[in-house]
Amino acid sequence: MQIFGKYKTNFDMDYLVEHYIYFNSSDEDKIDTQTIQMMLKKKRKHVAGTIFLYNPETSPKGFKNSRFLKDDGFEKYDEFVELNEDAMSYILNSALKHNYQNKLVEIKYLFTYNRENIEPTLILEEFDTDLDKLSSMQLTRYDRDLNYIDVPNVRVSGKFVFLGMGHKYDRHHKAIIAYARALSKQIHKLDKEVVFIHDNNYDEDEARERAYFLSPLAKGKAKEIRIDALKKVFSTIPPQVVKI
């Protein structure tokens, strides 16, 4: 597995605006950023699908997680760089590596602000306020183009879409809830195989309507259950919706 991403920055905030995982075969040399860019010119051939998560908590090779990478000497904004492996990437690799060797998978986010432990924080209150402003010309706290998805025009790559951006939305964050549900509705209109993990709280159709999509990453007793569920999702081609 190799991970590549592209950061953009505005107002001392970093956003991960492009993110791909490449699943190397066992006998393959590592690839570089030039190869990634060449592969992305032929997305239909090289990108197997798209995974939606909540927000990135990433760092470039040679750097630690940071709230503002420029303060640590990072200068390669607006270009692809290789990223460090993390807990989420290990989980994704364990589930997808067998069926998607030599393929890229695109990772997209509900919010692209690159920040650890974003839930629960006052940042979500600011996101909620921002989302109410997106349809107007009012100024937003976070970059409206870099941090948020243009839901009506969302674009996905590959044949499948896995929705794993979470299910525990604070009931007070009504704009975030509406945003997640609108995204789910729009993605289900696309000509893709849309899959996710859900549980007994809602059936498959209700989960779609409520944007109730369990994240592959969990703690405690749920950790191994979620990992096993993700492996089951991607144990078939096309992947499948899994109930735990």
pLDDT at 27 over 90: no
pLDDT for 117 beyond 80: yes
Q: What angle do CA 150, 152, 154 make, to 5 degrees?
A: 60
- The pLDDT value given to residue 28: 85
Does residue 120 have a pLDDT over 80? no
136-147 pLDDT, tens digit per residue, is 889 999 999 999
Q: Supply the pLDDT for residue 228.
A: 98
Separation between Cα atoms, residue 25 and residue 244, nearest integer Å: 30
pLDDT band for position 75 (cuts 50, 70, 90): very high
- For residue 39, the SS3 value is helix
- What average pLDDT does this structure show over 111-133? 94
Distance CA 69, CA 59 (A): 8
pLDDT of residue 94: 97
Query: Whole-prediction pTM value?
Result: 0.97
